[in-house]
C-alpha cells in the first residue's frame, strides 16, 4: 500500500497544508513537525510562488513571507528531506505550473522523489492538459493529484476515473480561504466520484472549524485545511508550533 493510501486506510484523513518557509526555514520545519506529531494523516507542502492564483489573501501573504525569507524550490526539497529523517507520513507538494515548468519538469520530479514526496497538486493545470506533467511525475513515482470543482459537472466521472493518490474536491467556487458556510451540493459530487472510482476523495477550500470538519468528513474520505492553519502561523510567528498542535488535535478529534 502506498503512503498516500495509508492516510485513508480505515479512517477519515486529516490533511494539513502549510507553506514551506513561512515565516522562515527553521520555523517552518518546526511547524510541520508539530502538525505531524499532532496527528495529521497527510501533509501538503506549499511551494511559495509569487502568483498563486488559486489562493486567497491568507496563503498569498504566507507565500510572500516565505519568499521574503529566501525560500526557494530547492530549499523546499531540503525541508522535505529533513522531515523524511523522522517521519513516514505521506507528503504532497502544492504548487503551480509555472514553477515546475521553469525548474524543468524532469529535474523537478526527480528531485521531488529523491526528497521523499509522494504526490503533487497543480491547481492551474486543467485535466485536459495534465499529460504535460503527469507522465513525468509517474516516471518518478509521484502521484499527480486530480482536482474536482463544483464547475466540473460532466467531467467529474472522467476526472475521477483517472485519479491517482487521492482526489482533491474543491468545496466552493473562488479561491482558498476560511468560509463561514459551504453551500455546494457536495453530496451529489461525491456520489458521482464514488460511482467512477475507489480512489479516496478529500474536501478542501474553506474548512476551518471542528464542526465544519466533522460535517465534511461525513461526506468524504478526508478533510483538507490550509488557510486556517496559515492564520495561526501569521498570528503567532515563531511561537506557532504549540498553537498549530492544539488546532490539529481538535480537527483530528472532530473527524
Q: Measured between alpha carbons, how far is 46 from 54 in angstroms, rounded to an integer? A: 12
Give the pLDDT confidence score for residue 183 in this predicted structure.
Answer: 41
Give the pLDDT confidence score for residue 176 in this predicted structure.
Answer: 46
Quick count: other Cβ atoms within 10 Å of Cβ 3?
18
- Report whether pLDDT(52) > 90: no
Give the pLDDT confidence score for residue 106 in this predicted structure.
Answer: 98
Tell me the average pLDDT across 5-24: 95
pLDDT band at 246 (very low <50, low <70, confident <90, very high): very high
Residue that wins the pLDDT comparison between 121 and 179: 121
Q: Where are the domains of the chain?
A: 3-248
Give the pLDDT confidence score for residue 206 in this predicted structure.
Answer: 79
Distance of alpha carbon 251 from the chain centroid: 16
Give the pLDDT confidence score for residue 174 in this predicted structure.
Answer: 44
Tell me the average pLDDT across 245-252: 97
Tell me the average pLDDT across 33-49: 97
Cβ-count burial 79-106 (b if 16+ within 10 Å, e if not): bbebbeeeeebbbbbbbbbebbeebebe
Residue range 142-193, pLDDT digits in tens: 999 999 988 777 899 999 999 999 999 987 654 444 434 444 678 888 999 9
Give the pLDDT confidence score for residue 181 in this predicted structure.
Answer: 46
Give me the percent of the chain exceeding a pLDDT of 90: 77
Residue range 203-243, pLDDT digits in tens: 988 788 999 999 999 999 999 998 999 999 999 998 999 99
pLDDT band at 119 (very low <50, low <70, confident <90, very high): very high
Q: Measured between alpha carbons, how far is 202 from 63 in angstroms, rounded to an integer? A: 24
Q: What is the pTM of this model?
A: 0.92
| Residue whose C-alpha is closest to residue 32's, from 76, 96, 95 | 76
Q: Measured between alpha carbons, how far is 237 from 252 in angstroms, rounded to an integer? A: 23
- State the CATH architecture for 3-248: Alpha-Beta Barrel (3.20)
Give yes or no for a contact between 63 and 48, defined as CB atoms under 8 angstroms apart. Answer: yes
Residue range 57-71, pLDDT digits in tens: 888 999 999 999 999
Sheet architecture: strand order including 146-148 = 143-144, 119-121, 91-94, 42-46, 13-19, 222-225, 201-204, 167-170, 146-148
Give yes or no for a contact between 59 and 21, defined as CB atoms under 8 angstroms apart. Answer: no
- Cell digits for 42? 497527510
Give the pLDDT confidence score for residue 152 in this predicted structure.
Answer: 79
Amino acid at each position: 500500500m502506498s503512503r498516500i493510501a495509508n492516510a485513508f486506510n480505515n479512517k477519515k484523513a486529516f490533511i494539513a497544508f502549510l507553506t514551506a518557509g513561512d515565516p522562515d526555514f527553521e520555523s517552518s520545519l518546526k511547524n510541520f513537525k508539530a502538525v505531524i506529531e499532532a496527528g495529521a494523516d497527510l501533509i501538503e507542502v506549499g511551494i511559495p510562488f509569487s502568483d498563486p492564483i488559486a489562493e486567497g489573501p491568507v496563503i498569498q501573504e504566507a507565500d510572500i513571507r516565505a519568499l521574503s525569507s529566501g525560500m526557494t524550490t530547492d530549499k523546499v526539497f531540503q525541508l522535505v528531506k529533513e522531515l523524511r529523517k523522522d517521519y513516514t507520513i505521506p507528503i504532497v507538494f502544492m504548487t503551480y505550473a509555472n514553477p515546475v515548468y521553469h525548474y524543468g519538469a524532469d529535474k523537478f520530479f526527480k528531485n521531488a522523489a529523491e526528497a521523499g514526496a509522494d504526490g503533487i497538486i497543480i491547481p492551474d493545470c486543467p485535466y485536459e492538459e495534465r499529460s504535460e506533467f503527469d507522465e513525468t511525475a509517474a516516471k518518478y513515482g509521484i502521484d499527480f493529484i486530480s482536482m474536482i470543482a463544483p464547475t466540473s459537472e460532466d467531467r467529474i466521472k472522467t476526472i475521477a476515473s483517472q485519479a491517482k493518490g487521492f482526489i482533491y474536491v474543491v468545496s466552493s467556487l473562488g479561491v482558498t480561504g476560511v468560509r463561514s458556510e459551504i453551500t455546494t451540493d457536495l453530496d451529489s459530487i461525491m456520489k458521482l466520484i464514488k460511482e467512477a472510482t475507489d480512489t479516496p476523495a478529500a474536501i478542501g477550500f474553506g474548512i476551518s472549524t471542528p464542526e465544519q470538519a466533522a460535517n465534511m468528513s461525513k461526506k468524504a474520505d478526508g478533510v483538507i485545511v490550509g488557510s486556517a492553519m496559515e492564520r495561526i502561523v501569521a498570528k503567532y510567528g515563531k511561537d506557532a508550533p504549540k498553537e498549530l498542535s492544539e488546532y490539529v488535535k481538535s480537527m483530528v478529534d472532530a473527524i
